[in-house]
Structure 1
Amino acid sequence: MIKLNFDVKKHILKNGLEVITIKKNTQISSINIGIKVGALNETLEEKGISHFIEHMIFKGTENRTFQRLNDELESLGGEYNAYTDYSQTVYSISCLEEEFINGIELLSDMLINSKLPEEEVDKERGVILAEIRSSKDSVEDFSFKRINEVAFEHSALKYDVAGLDENVKNFTRDQLYSYYKKYYVPNNSLITMVSSREHDDAIKEIEKYFGKWQPKEVKSLDVKDEKNKDIKVVTTKENIELSTIIYLFTFYDLDKKSELPLRILNHRLGESANSLLFREVRENRGLAYDIYSHLDITKNVKTLYVYTAVDEEDINDASKAIEEIFKDIKSKKIVIGNNDLNIMKKVHKTAVISTLEDSFELCSYILSQSLEGEDIFEFLEDMESLNSITADEIYEVANKVLNNPTIHILKSS
């Protein structure tokens, strides 16, 4: 049994802001704030706007110029960052306990009082366009974007979070500011904070700086799940040394209790350095240097990818080897024994303990679980479930998920 080294309390401020305080014996404090807005909220004409605003939040407020804001963030002496995905935008600060209140105040100013200055919009436009173009130069990034484009017709997953070039080129400051004011409201946000402070003291600081944030009605997000197309597409690109192969599976009809067996399957399939795919495609056949699987299980995104890069002459052999692994798992030809389950349990336990020990990781995990509406202590339930899970459950989930993939192959033109 894992021993918890922290205590958690949930609070709702009068303006609707949900706050989770995590009391932990630590000298490093962390605060994360998640805004429930991302690429899923965007219309076609808005693709990229959530990500653009994430960049602009660091560009100055009603109280601080761009330079002053970033100087003060830097002076915290810790780490500050942000990211946008399909369903949320997250801002985080980790710093010494003595700088914790300064971190809270800075985040509140950024989130509540951002100015989105016109001159910075034009500067950041160039930065984001360069970010989009640099991802096109990466064969791996390009391949993942391309398979999403061909796998979906209507899903937001069809488009990269960074957006469409044409949109980014044409967003106006007024468009950005209107979108920011629409979604950046307390009743559409959630804060998690890890510190050694008592819960009452911690929440007083949040109330002091975030209590003035004015709520506004926000429409709940209505996402229609779309299965990937059962299709194989070949794309060509100039001046690439290796060809890439990606398989994409979606599993929106999978029930909650099957998610843990799927995580074990993914680890055995391609997540570990001794995975089935790695051993067969790289070690046994020498076809690829890099091969892995990637699993995403959130409320609105249920995807499993398998990726590798090979010489063009080895595409067919590598594809055949990968598909044989899928087939042999589903038919139980590949044995998943007690040793595999024990290893997965150790992997899971190591990941959990690492998260509990690190203030930033703990803060991020609890934020993610809470934004998804999941139990923040789910990892404890998973530990118990691992004791009773069977190989048959893993084979069953393999037969549910590993069907009708979208396949994308990238070759040199």
Structure 2
Amino acid sequence: MFYSKKYILDNGLNLICIKKDSKLISINVAIRVGALLEDKSERGISHFVEHMIFKGTKKRNNEDINSDIEKLGGEYNAYTGYDRTVYTFTGLKEEIECIIEIFSDMLQNSIFSSKEIKKEKEVILSEIRTAKDDIEDFSYQKAYYAAFDKSPLKYDTIGTEDIVNKFTRNEILSFYKKYYIPNNCNIVVASDYEPYYIYKLIKEHFGKWERKEIKKNNILMERNIPGCNYSYKKDIEQSTIIYIFTFNNLNKNQELALRILNHKLGESNNSILFKELREKRGLAYDVYTSLDLSKHVKTMCIYTAVSEENIEKTINIINNCIDKIKKKEIVFDNSTIDIMKKVLKTATAFTLEDCEDIANYVLYQSINNENIYEFIEDNKALNYIESNHIYEIANLVLNNPTIHILKRKE
């Protein structure tokens, strides 16, 4: 358990302070914008702005920014997701004021020089090309492109070469000015400091940030398009198979049952698919499932890579496993369910023990307007999950997948 205190600054900035016994501090600064809010002509612009935030302010050039952060001795990073762009730092607690000052300068005073934009455009184009060389990344890009019609989930967060190439300084700066405002910002700080002390530091460095009105695009929620799709790529040794399922409007208990199902189906080395595809038949090395419960995403995926001659056999095995679960032919007895409950509770315990993990968790909850103590209710609710709940959720979710197959191009 941890103590928390929430503050809202006069300019609308949301701050959550986590009081935790630790010699470290972890700070997450999130701007509530990502790929889901981009127009067609803006695909990848949130990610571009994330890069540019490190490329110079009114008082620091890009070398100064990286040098000043490195001097603090901690770990720093940034990432762009579907609904947020996040800047993180974890380091010694005595560096708290320094990193808050640096982040406040970066977020409020970036200058977006034409010279740096030109250089960073080449870096991002290289990143896009590199993703094409990663077979797993490439497969997911193709699978999501096939799975959706108009949803932004169709596109990768880093954008496409043709669109990124066309970005102008005015377009990038306009996007930054629209979304990088205090009333569109969440900050989470996990530390041993009293929350009011953190609040005063944040107010000192972020309090004069000017609030602005903001109008966001409506986010389109779309079901995946059922069917089997093929892509081809030269010089690959194995074919990949991806299933994508979407689900909306599940309640919290149903999502808990889905987390248990996901774990048992493919999230562990003792999972159903791992045992069937790898242990019993030796068809695949990589096989796993993944689940994204984010507010505007709600997807479950199955991934594996096999030799081309085993594609049909692998798909039949996956389909057979899903059918057996739905027909209750694969038994989820009490001991199996108890193990899966314990796994989820253990994962929660790990999160609560780690300063960085707890900051990430609280940020995720706050961005989605969820209770940051939801894990307490989840742990209680887990005690009431039974096998029939898992079978019910399997029949609700594991239907009409988008299947994507990547094969060698001759």
SS of 1:292's partner is: strand
Letter matched to residue 363 of structure 1: A
Cα deviation digits, residues 275-318 of structure 1 (max 9, x gap): 00000011111111111001111110011110100011101111
Deviation (angstroms), 1:124: 0.7
**Distance (Å, rounded) in 2 between the aligned partners of 1:234 and 1:202:** 52
In structure 1, the residue matched to 2:406 is 410
CA distance in 1, matches of 2:196, 2:308: 62
Q: Is the 8 A contact 1:247 1:305 kept in 2?
A: yes
Deviation at 1:221, TM superposition (A): 4.3
2:156 is matched with which residue: 156, 160, 183? 160
Q: Which whole-Å CA distance do the structure 2 matches of 1:404 and 1:377 have between them?
A: 34
1:137 aligns with 2:166: no
Match of 1:178 in 2: 174
Q: Does 1:37 align with 2:33?
A: yes
Aligned residue identity for 1:356: L
Q: Deviations over 1:195-239 (max 9, x none)?
A: 111111110000000001001111144212110111111111111
Aligned-partner residue type, residue 103 of structure 1: I
Matched AA of 1:48:
G
- Number of the residue aligned with 1:271: 267
Deviation at 1:134, TM superposition (A): 0.7
SS at match of 1:282: helix
Counterpart Cα distance in 2 of 1:100 and 1:378:
28
Which residue number corresponds to residue 330 of structure 1?
326
Which one-letter code corresponds to 2:325 in the other structure?
I
Aligned residues of 1:15 and 1:186 also touching (Cα < 8 A)? yes
Cα distance in 2, alignment partners of residues 354 and 84 from structure 1: 24
CA distance in 1, matches of 2:121, 2:10: 37
Partner residue of 2:376? 380
Partners of 1:276 and 1:238 lie apart in 2 by: 32
User: CA offsets, 1:76-100, max 9 Å, x none?
Assistant: 1001111001111011111101111
- Once residues 348 and 217 of structure 2 are traced to their aligned partners in structure 1, the CA distance between those partners, rounded to angstroms, is 31
Map 1:293-332 → 2, pairs under 5 A? 293-332=289-328
SS of residue paired to 1:289: coil
Q: Which amino acid aligns with 2:128?
A: I
SS of the aligned residue for 1:288 comes to coil
Equivalent in 346, 350, 359 of residue 354 of structure 1: 350
Once the two structures are TM-superposed, the CA of residue 255 in structure 1 deviates from its matched residue by 2.9
Partner of residue 364, structure 1: 360
Q: Aligned partners of 2:154, 2:251: CA distance in 1, in Å?
A: 24
* Among candidates 212, 215, 224, match of residue 219 of structure 1: 215
| Whole-angstrom CA distance in 1 between matches of 2:164 and 2:198 | 39
For the pair 1:7 / 2:26, whether they are aligned, the reply is no
SS of aligned partner of 1:205: helix
Q: 2: distance between equivalents of 1:233 and 1:349?
A: 38
**Partners in 1 of 2:234 and 2:62 — Cα distance?**
40
How far did 1:173 drift?
Answer: 1.4
Q: How far is 1:164 from its partner?
A: 1.4
Which consecutive unaligned segments of at least 5 residues does structure 2 have?
Answer: none
- Structure 1: gaps of 5 or more residues: none
Map of 1:169 onto structure 2? 165
- Contact 1:341-1:386 within 8 A present in 2 as well: no
Structure 2 residue 115 is matched with structure 1 residue 119: yes
RMSD: 0.9
SS of corresponding position for 2:286: strand
**Aligned with 2:107: secondary structure?**
helix
> What secondary structure does 1:248 align onto?
strand
Matches of 2:3 and 2:55, distance apart in 1: 35
Other-structure match for 2:188: 192
Residue deviations 1:254-278, cap 9 Å, x none? 3333100000000000001110000
> Closer, same or farther in 2 for the Cα pair 1:221/1:44, shift >3 Å?
closer
Letter in 1 for 2:316: K
Partner of 2:287: 291
Q: Would you identify which runs of 4 or more consecutive aligned residues in structure 1 move more than 3 Å?
A: none
The 5 A counterparts of 1:15-164 are 15-164=11-160
CA distance, structure 2, for counterparts of residue 216 and residue 248 of structure 1: 38
Q: Distance in 1 between matches of 2:167 and 2:245?
A: 34
Check conservation: 1:28, 1:95, Cα contact below 8 A.
yes
Q: Which residue of 1 aligns with 2:393?
A: 397
